[in-house]
Amino acid sequence: MRDNASCDELGLRQAEAGPVSRETVPLLGDAASQSRNGDWPSIADYVGWAPLYPSSADPGFGSPESPSSFGELDIYPSANVDGTGTVYERGAVAVDEGLPLTDGAPAAPTRHAPPPPLPDSVVPADTEVTMTDAYVSRETEDPPLAMEARRAVQILNPSGEVTMPRPPRRRIISVSNQKGGVGKTTTAVNIAVALALHGNRVLVIDLDPQGNASTGLNVPHHAGVPDIYDCLIDGAPLDDVTQPVEGIPNLWAIPATIDLAGAEIELVSVVARESRLRRAIEASPSQYDYIFIDCPPSLGLLTVNALVACEEVLIPIQCEYYALEGVQALTANIDLVRAHLNPNLDITTVVLTMYDRRTRLADLVEQDVRKHFGPKVLDTVIPRNVRVSEAPSYSQSVMTYDPGSRGAVSYFEAAREIAVRGAEQTGDEE
């Protein structure tokens, strides 16, 4: 089922989905079937896990024979835990304007898949890529966007000494936090761009129906564009929906369109609904060093798909009041997914975002988060910086929009830390 729908229509369909799923999956208890905000079906309604999950056909995933254990799984598709929606910096350019409504719009046009972007594995994975290898081009031949990328690299890393080692094997990182407006998309986009500018092959999967990562990377994501929905619901190959990011070499993206808004509900009745994304990634022959999955601000089936598909979770935490609120729910869910569906899942990275050094509060939050997560927290802290919030309105990352800004420099540093830590950790394991 794929169509354009207004919020009201969606609400109607969600209301319809409740009874349907109740018939097909066992309820996980009265408490679990309570909806968080009343408007949405309860998580228990559609996270029935066991009956629709062909465990025998799918070894390697957790046994779903005790679905009641998932009654604890705190999954709900509301936009924000406090129901207020995305929080914007005062005066910042708001890019999260909610779901674009296409009420009454005609059916999506026939779609033509772009040629599959199969990145060649030119450089062996264990090769250390220096800046000189990473992005060398001749100014006269470069289109303007590519020149901006080149300029960004020159400003961020003038001596070319800083390297971002390519990981020995592909790293799949979900950027997740069920709170909205904490910097998930900004972090995913900017770290991906920084790594790509330094020689890593990077794919960003936009798993949020709001499509902010697609906007930030300037990847078309209007109705009718092949998107991640096609992979999740229709089983389309990943490469058929992947687009190269213009102006940034080594960077690809899979957009999210409005269609994804219905996926949370439609996934309920799909076979192996928790592992659709994982299967799509596993089936792709493309070779990436990093895949970043930008999660929606909820703990619904889309986020579960991300957690099942990845090995690493990156949690951005905003240096604000209630910073740790909801993180416990997220970590509890990660524990459950690890126990039942993906034993390799781990929180590897925590990034402090929107740090305002003028406030004592930011300091306190930083101390709290470092105490809670220890060395998982990156040394680099991302400051609140107006350039970061302006960049998406120019369909750019801050790395290219203003590479000299504090925001860009911090994300550059954060990306370097992630690359170096990853190389060290993998080296330790071996």
Whole-angstrom CA distances from 131 to 161, 246, 412, 413 are 7, 20, 13, 14
**Which residue number, 146 or 377, has a Cβ lying nearer to ligand ADP?**
377
Q: Is 184 in the site for ligand ADP (CB under 6 A)?
A: yes
Q: What SS3 state is found at 171?
A: strand
Q: Is 174 in the site for ligand ADP (CB under 6 A)?
A: no
Count the residues in the chain: 430
Q: Is 212 in the site for Mg ion (CB under 5 A)?
A: yes
Q: Is 184 in the site for Mg ion (CB under 5 A)?
A: yes
The label of the residue with tokens 């830390």 reads 417
Whole-angstrom CA distances from 23 to 271, 322, 336 are 16, 38, 25
Binding residues for ligand ADP restricted to 333-372, rule: CB under 6 A = 353-354
Whole-angstrom CA distances from 377 to 317, 329, 374 are 10, 18, 6
Q: Is 353 in the site for Mg ion (CB under 5 A)?
A: no
Which residue in the set 96, 230, 402, 413 belongs to the binding site for ligand ADP (CB under 6 A)?
A: 96
Picking from 323, 324, 273, 328, the residue whose alpha carbon sits closest to that of residue 302 is 273
Q: How far is the CB of 320 from ligand ADP (least distance, A)?
A: 11
**Which residue number, 20 or 92, has a Cβ lying nearer to ligand ADP?**
92
Which residue in the set 3, 9, 58, 89 belongs to the binding site for ligand ADP (CB under 6 A)?
A: 89
Picking from 210, 190, 260, the residue whose alpha carbon sits closest to that of residue 418 is 190
Give which of ligand ADP, Mg ion, none residue 73 binds (C-beta under 5 to 8 Å, depending on kind): none
> Looking at the DSSP assignment, which residues form a beta bridge with residue 175?
294, 314
**Which residue number, 4 or 212, has a Cβ lying nearer to Mg ion?**
212
Q: Is 180 in the site for ligand ADP (CB under 6 A)?
A: yes
Candidate ranges 185-193, 307-315, 375-383, 399-407; the one touching Mg ion (CB under 5 A): 185-193
Which residue in the set 42, 157, 176, 186 belongs to the binding site for ligand ADP (CB under 6 A)?
A: 186
Q: Is 191 in the site for ligand ADP (CB under 6 A)?
A: no
Residues 6+ apart with CB under 8 A from 314: 173, 174, 175, 176, 187, 188, 292, 348, 349, 350, 351, 418
Q: How far is the CB of 67 from ligand ADP (least distance, A)?
A: 30
**Which residue number, 89 or 142, has a Cβ lying nearer to ligand ADP?**
89
Q: Phi/psi class of residue 139: alpha, beta or left (left: φ > 0; alpha: ψ in -120 to 50)?
A: alpha
> Looking at the DSSP assignment, which residues form a beta bridge with residue 294?
175, 206
Which residue in the set 185, 298, 318, 348 belongs to the binding site for Mg ion (CB under 5 A)?
A: 185
Q: What letter does residue 355 receive in the DSSP assignment?
A: B
Candidate ranges 19-27, 207-215, 310-318, 390-398; the one touching Mg ion (CB under 5 A): 207-215
Residues near ligand ADP (CB under 6 A): 86, 88-89, 92, 94-96, 180-186, 212, 297, 353-354, 382, 384-385, 388-389, 392, 407
